[in-house]
Amino acid sequence: MIAKFTVAERQWSLVLLVLTALAGLAMAALGAGDAMGVHGFIVLIVSLGLIFVVGGGLFAPEPTEDRRRAYYDDPIKLGLVLAMVWAVIGMGVGDWVAWMLAYPEARFDAAWSSFGRVRPVHTTGVIFGFGGNALIATSMHVMQRTSRARMAGQVSPWFVIIGYNLFVVMAVSGYLMGVTQSKEYAEAEWYADIWLVIVWVTYFVLYIRTLARRNEPHIYVANWYYLAFILVVAVLHIINNLAMPASLTAAKSYSLFSGVQDAMTQWWYGHNAVAFFLTAGFLGMLYYYLPKRANRPIYSYRLSILSFWGITFFYIWVGSHHLHYTALPHWVQTLGMTFSVMLLVPSWASAGNALMTLNGAWHKVRDDATLRFMFVAAVFYGLSTFEGSFLAIRPVNSLSHYTDWTVAHVHAGAMGWVALITFGAIYAAVPMIWRRETMYSWKLVEWHFWLALAGTMIYVFAMWNSGIVQGLMWRTYNEAGTLQYSFVDTLVAMHPYYIARAIGGLLFLTGAVVGSYNIWMTIREVGHEAKARDVPTDSEAGEPAVPVAE
Partner 1 sequence: MSVKKRDPLTGHQTTGHEWNGITELNTRVPRVIWWFILVTHLYALIAWVLLPAWPGITGYTKGILGIDQQERVERQVADLRAARAPWRDRIAAATVENIRADPDLSAKVAETGPALFGDNCAACHGAQGQGGPGYPSLVDDAWLWGGDAEAVLETLRVGINADHPDTRFAQMLSFDGILSRDEIRTVAAYVQSLSGMETGADPDRLAEGQVLFMDNCASCHGDAATGNTDLGAPNLTDDHWIYGGDDAAIFTTILRGREGWMPAWEGRLDLADRKILAAYIQDLKGQAQ
Partner 2 sequence: MIRWLQKLYYPIQAGHYRLEKHSIGLTLAIIFAAMIGGFVEIAPLFTIDETVEEAPDMRLYTPLEQAGRDIYIREGCYACHSQMIRTLVDEVDRYGAYSLAVESKYDHPMLWGSKRTGPDLARLGGKYSDDWHVAHLIDPRAVVPESVMPHYAFLAQRRLETESLPARLAALGKVGVPYDAAMIENAERDARGQANPDSDDAGGVAERYGEATQIRPFDGDTARLTEMDALVAYLQILGKLTDAASRIETAAIEADMEAAQ
Query: Which residue numbers belong to the known binding site for Cu cation?
Result: 271, 321-322
Three-state SS for 69-82 is HCCCCHHHHHHHHH
Other beta carbons within 10 angstroms of residue 476's beta carbon come to 12
Rounded least distance, CB 115 to ligand HEM, Å: 8
Which one of 12, 257, 299, 386 is in contact with partner 2 (CB under 8 A)? 257
Q: CA 117 to CA 286: how far, in whole Å? A: 33
Burial category of 484 from C-beta neighbours within 10 Å (exposed 0-12, middle 13-18, buried 19 and up) = middle
Q: Which of 478, 482, 538, 550 touches partner 2 by CB under 8 A?
A: 482
- Tell me: does residue 46 bind ligand HEM (CB under 6 A): no
Whether the CB-CB separation of 286 and 311 falls below 8 Å is answered with no
Question: Please, which residue, 276 or 405, has the CB nearer to ligand HEC?
Answer: 405
Q: Is 260 in the site for partner 2 (CB under 8 A)?
A: yes
Contact in structure between 146 and 288 (CB atoms under 8 Å) = yes
The answer to whether 202 touches 163, Cβ cutoff 8 Å, is yes
Helix (H) or strand (E) holding 209: helix 190-212
Q: Which is nearer to ligand HEC, 33 or 116 (CB)?
A: 116
Strand partners, 244: 254
CA 543 from chain center: how many Å? 33
Least distance to ligand HEC from the beta carbon of 113, Å?
12
Residues 479-518 that bind ligand HEC (CB under 6 A): 488, 491
Q: Give the shortest CB-88-to-ligand HEM separation in angstroms.
A: 10
Cα 388 to Cα 421: distance, rounded to the nearest angstrom = 19
Summarize the annotated binding site as residue ranges: 122, 271, 321-322, 409, 411
Q: 332, 399 in Cβ contact below 8 A?
A: no
Stretch that binds partner 2, among 14-22, 71-79, 282-290, 319-327 (CB under 8 A): 319-327
The most distant pair of C-alpha atoms in the chain lies apart, rounded to whole Å, by: 86
Partner touching 347 among partner 1, Cu ion, partner 2, none, CB below 5 to 8 Å by kind: none
Q: Does 286 bind ligand HEM (CB under 6 A)?
A: no
Q: Are the CB atoms for 245 and 193 separated by under 8 Å?
A: no
> Cα angle vertex 62, ends 56, 63, to 5°?
105
Q: Binding residues for partner 1, per CB under 8 A? A: 145-146, 148, 216, 218, 220-221, 288, 291-292, 295, 297-304, 306, 325, 329-335, 337-339, 341-342, 344-345, 348-349, 352, 359-360, 478-489, 539-545, 547, 549-550
User: Does the footprint of partner 2 cover residue 215 (CB under 8 A)?
Assistant: no
Burial of 179 (0-12, 13-18, 19+ CB in 10 A): buried
- The binding site for heme b consists of 122, 409, 411
Q: Which of 271, 324, 409, 501 binds Cu ion (CB under 5 A)?
A: 271
> In whole angstroms, how close is the CB of 348 to partner 1 at the nearest point?
7
Q: What is the DSSP letter of 61?
A: P
Q: Is 402 in the site for ligand HEC (CB under 6 A)?
A: no
> The dihedral of CA 243, 248, 253, 254: what is its sign?
negative
Helix (H, G, I), strand (E, B) or coil at 114: coil
Instruction: Give least dist CB 181 to ligand HEM, A.
Output: 15
Residues that bind ligand HEM (CB under 6 A): 91, 94-95, 97-98, 101, 119, 122-123, 126-127, 131, 184, 270, 274, 278-279, 318, 321-322, 340, 343-344, 347, 384-385, 388-389, 391-392, 397, 400-401, 406-407, 409-411, 413-415, 417-419, 505, 508-509
Residues that bind ligand HEC (CB under 6 A): 115-116, 488, 491
Residues that bind Ca ion (CB under 5 A): 181, 186, 188, 193, 241
